[in-house]
Amino acid sequence: MKRFTPFFLGFLGLFLLGWLGMVNYPYTAFAELRPDRDATTNEVTPPGLPGTAVQGVRVYAANGCVECHSQFVRDKNQGSDIDRKWGARRTVARDYMNEGDIYLGTSRLGPDLTNVAVRQKDPAWYYQLLYDPASLNPESGMPAYRWLFKTRKIAGQVSEEALKLNGKDAPAPGYEVVPTNEAKVLVAYLLALKRNYPLPEAPEPKE
Amino acid sequence: MDHFVQPLPSAPASGAFPVLNDPSYPFASERQIGWQQAVVAFYVTSGVFWLVLASLFWWLNTAQAMAPNAWYAFPDVPWLTYGRVFPAFTNAFVFGWASLTGLGVAFYFLGRLSRLSWQWGVLLATAGLIWDLVLALGLWHILGGGSTGRELLEIHPSIACGFFLAAGLVSVWLLVEFWAHRNAVGYVSLWYLLAAVLAFLWVFSTGEILINIWRTGGAAQPAIQSWYVNGIHQLWLVPLALAVTYFLIPEGTDRPVYSRRLSLLGFWGYTGLAAWAGLSSFLGGPFPAWMSTVTIVANVLLLIPVLCLCVNFHFMLKGQGRAVGSNLSLRFVTTGFFLFVAAAFWTALVSFRSVDSILHFTLAMAARSSLLIAGFVSFTLSGAVYYVLPRLLRRAWLSPLLVSLHFWFAVIGLGLLLAAEVIGGMVQGFGLADPKVDFAAITDLLQPFLLVQVIAVGLLFVAHVLLAISVGLFLVFRVRERHPAAVPEARVVTRAEVPVA
C-alpha cells in the first residue's frame, strides 16, 4: 500500500459500510414507525409529551440528569429491570417515536426513570426530592438542586406552590421556598414519564 | 545521563528516502521549519492546558459523587454541580487534551514520514486557534446551562460547528500536501494518522448534523449518538494514538516494524470493524436485536486486529526491557499499548449478553473508557509529548525526575481507578441484578469504591500537573546552552522511518 489515492478510497469505502448499517439504517427505519391504534378502544399509543414537559427536557438535559439516570427497561431475560418494578415490559423503539430528545443513559447511580411517574404521582414529592434528596432518603446519592428554587418573603398568604419544609430545610419565619419555572417544567417532564401503555411488539412478560 | 538521549541508530542500508530533517531536504526552508515548530508547540501546550483543567473537573466530580451533600457539591451554584461539571470534564479531555495534543504530535510525525512543505502552516495555526476558542466557549456554555445532554455532543451546535471548520482546514491542508507532493503512504503510522483525520470529519459531521442540527428524534437518536461516541473514541482518538505507537516503538527499540502483513490486517481490520461496534453503550436498548448482535460480534472480532498489533509489537519489544526502562517516552507508549490490549479484551468481555446484563449501567462500563481514553490514549500522547518537544525545539527537558514521577503517579492512579471501577462495578451489578437488594443499599455498598475513585483521580490530577510543569519549564528555560549533550539528535534516519511497503 503505497499510493495515497487507493488508500483514501479504500478507507472511505470500508467506512461507508459501517455507517450505512449503524447510522443510515436506524435513521431511515425508525422514521417509518407509526403510532399504534387499539382496535377496540381507539386509543393511540404512545401518547406525546405535553408542552411543559417538552420545556422540561431542556432542564433535564442541561443539568446532566442523564449522567446518573437511565430511561430504558430491558427485557426480562436481560437484567432485573422488570423485577425491580421499573416497568412492566421492555421499552422498544416505538416508545420514543414522539420525543425529540431522548436520554437513554448509560449509568444507574440513580434509579431508572422510564416509568417514574407511574411510581410517584405527587409533584410535591419531586420538589422535595430536588430541594433536598437526603430529607426523603438519607442514603440517597443524589445532589441537591436548591438553585432551582427561590426563597422569598411571604406577601400576604403563603403561596400554594410553597414547599412544605421541616427541620434544617425550613426557611426563616416569614419566608417561603417556591419552585422557579425551571423546576416546574422539569417536574412536568418527570410527571410525563410513564410508558405503561400496551404495545403489540412488547407484551408484558408472563410470570 | 539524560533519559531522552536515544542511542544513535545506524542508518538503514536499504537506501535513500526523504526525511524532513535532512538539511538538504528541498521543501523545508528555515521559515517553514519555524511554522512547524510554532504549530506543533501551540497544539501540544494547549492540549496540556485542557488536560489539567479536565482533570480538575474530573476530581471535583468524583468527590461530588462520593459526598453529594458536602459543600463541594455546590447545591446553590448551578455551574459547579455534578451534572454540569461532568460533561465539561469529558469535553475538555476528549476535544482539548486528546484531540489537540494528538493533532499536534501528528503534525510532527507527518513531517518525519512524508514530504510536507509547511507552506500553508498558517492554515493549521488558524485551525488551532479556532479549536481552542470553540472549546473555551463550549465549556462556558455547558457550565452556564446550555448543554444538550448528549454525550460528547454537549456543546451547542452553533459553537461546535467551529470544530468542523478547524478540522476542515486541517484536512484540506493534509489532502493538498499529499496530492501535491505525490506522497507515498508507506508507513503504518501514516495510515493511522490519515485514517484518524478522515474519520473525525465523517464521525463528527454525522453526530453534529444528524443529531444536533437536524434534531433527529425517536430511537434513531440514541443509536446514532452511540455510534458517534464510539467513533470519536475508536476511529479518531485510537488511530491517532496507534500512529504514535507505530512510530515510537520502532524508533525506541531500533527495530523495524515486524510484519507488513500483520500491520495491514491490523489496520484494515480495526478501522473496518470499529465502524460496526456502534451500539456498545446501549446493549439491551430499544433497538432491533440484530444491531446489538452486530455490535457484540464486532467487539469480539476486533480482538483479531488487536492480536495482530500485539504480535507485531511483541517482536519489536522482545528483549528490549532495558530500552523501555531507560527511555521514558517509550515507557509511556509501551504501557499505553498494554492498556489498549486490555481495553479490547474488557470491551469484548462486557459485550456478551450474559455479562452485559449484570454489568451494564455500572461503574464497570466506565472502565472501558478509562482503559481506552484515560489509559491508552492519554499515556501514549504523554509519551509522544516527551519525545516530540525536545526534537522539535532542539532543547532538553529540565528534569527527567518530573517525567518519571508523572509516569508513576499516572500508573498508580489509573490502576486504583480501574480497580475501583471493575470491583465496584461488579458489586453494583450483582446488587442491581437482585431485585431484593434495596437501591439505597447499593449506593451504600458503593461508598468505599467511590472513595478510592477520589484518591485515584487525585493521583491522576497530580500526574497531569507534573506534565504541565515539565512543559512549562521546558518552554521557559531553554535548556540547550547549559547541556548541549542532552539535546536529542533528530537529524538521523531512524527505524521508524523505514517504510514497510
pLDDT tens digits for range A154-197: 988 999 899 999 888 899 999 999 999 999 999 999 999 999 99
> Is the per-residue pLDDT at B300 higher than 50?
yes
**Dihedrals phi, psi of A127, to nearest 5 degrees:** -65, -45
Distance of alpha carbon B317 from alpha carbon B315, whole angstroms: 6
Beta bridge partners of A37: A44
If we measure between CA atoms, which residue out of B441, B403, B188 comes closest to residue A138?
B441
How is residue A177 written as a grid cell? 421556598
State the pLDDT confidence band at B369, using cuts at 50, 70 and 90. Answer: very high
Give the per-residue pLDDT at B500.
58
Q: Cβ contacts of residue A202 below 8 Å, gap of 6+?
A: A89, A90, A91, A92, A95
> Is the per-residue pLDDT at B482 higher than 70?
no
Out of A83, A106, A143, closest to residue B365 by CB: A106
Give the per-residue pLDDT at B10.
36
> Is the per-residue pLDDT at A50 higher than 60?
yes
Residues B222-226, mean pLDDT to the nearest whole number:
95
> Is the per-residue pLDDT at B8 higher than 60?
no
Give the per-residue pLDDT at B495.
58
Give the per-residue pLDDT at B5.
35
**CB contact (8 A) between residue A62 and residue B441:** no
Chain mean position to CA B253? 22
Work out the percent of chain A whose per-residue pLDDT is above 90. Answer: 78
* H or E, element range at B328: helix B328-351
Give the per-residue pLDDT at B29.
66
DSSP state of B230: H
Is B64 near chain A, with CB under 8 Å? yes
Give the per-residue pLDDT at B431.
96
pTM: 0.93
Residues B362-384, mean pLDDT to the nearest whole number:
97
Residues A28-35, mean pLDDT to the nearest whole number:
92
How many C-alpha atoms does A159 have within 13 Å on its Cβ side?
A: 15
Give the per-residue pLDDT at B496.
60
Distance of alpha carbon B269 from alpha carbon A205, whole angstroms: 40
Residues B78-103, mean pLDDT to the nearest whole number:
97
Out of B83, B218, B222, closest to residue A64 by CB: B83
User: B407 versus B2: which is more confidently predicted?
Assistant: B407
- Contact residues on chain B for A15, CB-CB shorter than 8 A: 198-199, 202, 235, 271-272, 275
* B328 touches B403 (CB < 8 A): yes
- Contact residues on chain A for B443, CB-CB shorter than 8 A: 109, 139-141
> Is the per-residue pLDDT at B490 higher than 80?
no
Average pLDDT, chain B: 89
> Is the per-residue pLDDT at B30 higher than 80?
no
Residues B418-434, mean pLDDT to the nearest whole number:
97
* A24 touches A156 (CB < 8 A): no
| DSSP string of B339-377, one letter each residue | HHHHHHHHHHHHHSHHHHHHHTTSHHHHHHHIIIIIIII
Best B155, B171, B179, B185 residue to mutate vs chain A (most A CBs within 10 Å): B185
Give the per-residue pLDDT at B472.
94
State the pLDDT confidence band at B392, using cuts at 50, 70 and 90. Answer: confident
If we measure between CA atoms, which residue out of A108, A54, A14 comes closest to residue B298?
A14
If we measure between CA atoms, which residue out of B93, B285, B109 comes closest to residue B187?
B109
CA distance A172 to chain B (A): 17
Strands (E), A5-117: 36-37, 44-45
How is residue A14 written as a grid cell? 470500508
Beta bridge partners of A176: A152
Is B498 near chain A, with CB under 8 Å? no
Residues B333-345, mean pLDDT to the nearest whole number:
97
CA distance B7 to chain A (A): 30
* B158-167, B391-400, B412-421, B455-464: the lowest-pLDDT one: B391-400
Give the per-residue pLDDT at B24.
39
State the pLDDT confidence band at B25, using cuts at 50, 70 and 90. Answer: very low
* A203-207, B263-267, B348-352, B433-437: the lowest-pLDDT one: A203-207
* B179 touches A4 (CB < 8 A): yes
**CB contact (8 A) between residue A62 and residue B501:** no
> Is the per-residue pLDDT at B27 higher than 60?
no
**CB contact (8 A) between residue B185 and residue A23:** no
In this predicted complex, what is the ipTM?
Answer: 0.95
- Contact residues on chain A for B501, CB-CB shorter than 8 A: 1-2
Out of B184, B198, B286, closest to residue A3 by CB: B184
* B199 touches B271 (CB < 8 A): yes
For the segment B122-168, what is each residue's pLDDT rounded down to a tens digit? 999 999 999 999 999 999 999 999 999 999 999 999 999 999 999 99
> Is the per-residue pLDDT at B207 higher than 80?
yes
Distance of alpha carbon A96 from alpha carbon B223, whole angstroms: 12
* B428 touches B362 (CB < 8 A): yes
Count Cβ–Cβ pairs < 8 Å, chain A vs chain B: 247
Decide: residue B419, CB within 10 A, 0-12 exposed, 13-18 middle, 19+ buried: middle
State the pLDDT confidence band at B26, using cuts at 50, 70 and 90. Answer: very low
For the segment B173-200, what is each residue's pLDDT rounded down to a tens digit? 988 888 777 677 778 998 999 999 999 9
Reduce the secondary structure of B427-454 to three states and give it as a string: HHHHHHHCCCCCHHHHHHHHHHHHHHHH
Is A168 near chain B, with CB under 8 Å? no
The sign of the dihedral angle between the CA atoms of B311, A12, B222, B213 is positive
CB atoms within 10 A of CB B501: 14
Decide: residue B203, CB within 10 A, 0-12 exposed, 13-18 middle, 19+ buried: buried
Chain mean position to CA B93? 9
